[in-house]
Amino acid sequence: TASNIDLTTNSFDLVEEKYLKKDVKIDSEKKLKKNDLFICTSSGSIRHLGKVALISNMVADAYFGGFCAVLRAKKSVLPKYLYSILNTQEFRSYVELRKGQNINNLGKDYLLDFRLPIPPVEIQKDIVRELDKIDVEINDLNSRNQSLKEEIDNHFSVIFDQYKDSFTKIENITDLVQRGKSAQYGFSNIQVIKSGQIRGYYSFDFSEQYFTHEDYVLDQRKLEEGDILINSTGVGTAGR
């Protein structure tokens, strides 16, 4: 399903697996193959619409489901080259034109109508080689970033142990603890931060912005500098 496309890394992720009943018959053309481009074609979030993963290895008896599609490149196009094109800002801008009121859809005709440059295969190979080098650098930086986060955790482990006799409750060191509330969206200048915009534990994603209805009245939920915003709900997301 579309949840198997990691939005952060644009890679195929089998952390969440779903299975069909044994007697269900599926068209063989829907079986994922090596070098397929697996793409999300319907989502409530425009950020997820058009996200794509390259099936770089064989997947045993895996079929793509609803709200997804597969592109299989002709011999004149390298799959990795096409995958890279579909991860450019040019393609993202094209996809975001499909933003709807509720469910965003990337129809087959609209997807196939996207225009892109196709240099000779030898040039494509050169481009892919350069992109592979950049991917290695990105992976190295991600590994370094993870190591630094672990170093931070280790520092706090020492602090927790060193000051274990001076623990206190959060309620004793805060002036305000206030849960958020759902707002009616509109076109005012008051921005609402949704739980899904809290990425990991350290940053926000404002690629999409949401605003309240014009009649919305501000209260103590207005964020101030120094506030700590916590995601209070969601499986795997609570506490971010």
* Backbone angle region of 35, left / alpha / beta, with phi > 0 → left and psi within -120 to 50 → alpha: left
DSSP-derived secondary structure letter, 187? S
CA gap 99, 144 in Å, rounded: 36
Segments of the chain scoring below 70 in pLDDT: 1-5, 13-29, 58-64, 100-102, 199-202, 234-237
In this predicted structure, what is the pLDDT of residue 14? 59
- Long-range contacts of residues 236-239, Cβ cutoff 8 Å, at least 24 apart: 237/195, 237/196, 237/198
Residue type present at position 28? S
Residue range 41-66, pLDDT digits in tens: 888 888 888 899 888 776 656 666 77
Residue 223, pLDDT score: 83
**Residues sharing a CB contact under 8 Å with residue 30, sequence separation 6 or more, in sequence order:** 63, 64, 70
Report d(CA 143, CA 5) in Å as an integer: 21
Neighbour tally for 145: CB within 10 Å: 11
pLDDT at 153: 93
The reported pLDDT for the residue numbered 83 is 93
Report CA-CA distances (Å) from 221 to 93, 115, 232: 33, 45, 14
Q: What is the pLDDT of residues 95-121, one digit of tens each?
A: 988 876 567 888 899 999 999 999 999
